[in-house]
Structure 1
Amino acid sequence: MNLTSFTDYGLRMLMRMASAPDRAFSTADLAEEFKLSRNHLSKIMQRLAQGGIVETRRGVNGGAVLRSNPAEIRLGNVVRLLEQGQALVECFGPDGGNCLIDGCCRLKARLRQAEVSFIEDLNRSSLADIALPERVAA
């Protein structure tokens, strides 16, 4: 199984945000810290906001803040949100792909169950469980 970089980067951002849940984080600061594209992180932040994980604010004290306590944000729900639209295998896609064995495939049901189990297992942990250590100013 391979998560997209979209999900990987989104989890990194949330791990940092969980280290100081009352602080607003700008995508520029997060992009600089993780050496990632600000533009790409902005798209991820937008998805997190649409999914109700973060709230974004404009202005001088702007940035993104977690909408809930990190202990209440389940990892599986975050991964499901960020992986939205990404099929585990081709036949799980909206058009079913070009699979020629779809009618007799015994693998599909097992893969669906594995996917459900993966999210359920991640949901046993919260964002608080994986928060990065709070950074100390030098």
Structure 2
Amino acid sequence: MQLTKHTDFAFRTLIYLASHDESLTTIQSIADTFELSKSHLMKVVNKLVNIGWVESVRGKKGGIRLAVAPHEIEIADIIIRMEKTLSPVNCETPKCTLSSNCSLKTYLWQAQREYLRHLKKYTLADVVNDSTMQILKFA
């Protein structure tokens, strides 16, 4: 499974915020650090705010920060909530003539369930380590 840029940007944003404790930061700071499109990142952050993982503070001294502790955000949940589809293969568009006699989709779904089950063991806190924090604090 290859993750979309939307999910990649969500991971980067969450890791960045987790490495900055509870201090406020801006979308522009994150965009500059990772050389990302600010407009695309704004869409990602908006979704993270709507999920409840990120808090947005308005005003001149506003910004964003994590709304929950990093250990409360499972890696698998980030993928599940940020990806548009988790379907490993599309047998419907165009309609595959083999679909009635093919088990490939079943095996791919089983593999994906195992993949997500494995990732459910890990949280954002597991991903953010001391060296990550040092790199991002000085970026």
Report the TM-score when normalising by structure 1: 0.86
Distance 1:28 1:45 in 2: 11
Tell me the number of residue pairs that the alignment of Structure 1 and Structure 2 aligns. 134
Indicate conservation of the 8 Å contact 1:18/1:66, yes or no.
Answer: yes
Partner of residue 97 from structure 1, selected from 93, 97, 105:
93
> Kindly, what percent of the aligned residue pairs are identical?
32
Partner of residue 108 from structure 1, selected from 105, 109, 116:
105
Distance 1:104 1:50 in 2: 42
Distance 2:133 2:63 in 1: 20
Indicate conservation of the 8 Å contact 1:76/1:122, yes or no.
Answer: yes
**CA deviation map 1:46-99 (0-9, x unaligned):** 1212222212221123222212100111000001111133542223xxxx3222
Measured on the aligned residues, the alpha-carbon RMSD in Å equals: 1.9
What aligned pairs does 1:1-138 form with structure 2 within 5 A after superposition? 1-85=1-85, 87-91=87-91, 96-98=92-94, 99-131=96-128, 132-134=132-134, 135-136=136-137
Change over 3 Å in CA distance of 1:100–1:33 after alignment to 2: same
Distance 2:137 2:11 in 1: 21
Letter paired with 1:117 = E
Structure 1 outlier segments of 4+, above 3 Å: 134-138
Letter paired with 2:64 = A
Change over 3 Å in CA distance of 1:106–1:42 after alignment to 2: same
Query: Which range moves more in the overlay, 34-43 or 57-66?
Result: 57-66
Give the secondary-structure state (helix, strand or coil) at the position aligned to 1:111.
helix
Shift of 1:137: 5.1
Give the secondary-structure state (helix, strand or coil) at the position aligned to 2:97.
coil
Report the TM-score when normalising by structure 2: 0.85
For structure 2, the residue ranges without an aligned partner over 5 or more in a row are: none
For structure 1, the residue ranges without an aligned partner over 5 or more in a row are: none
Letter paired with 1:8 = D
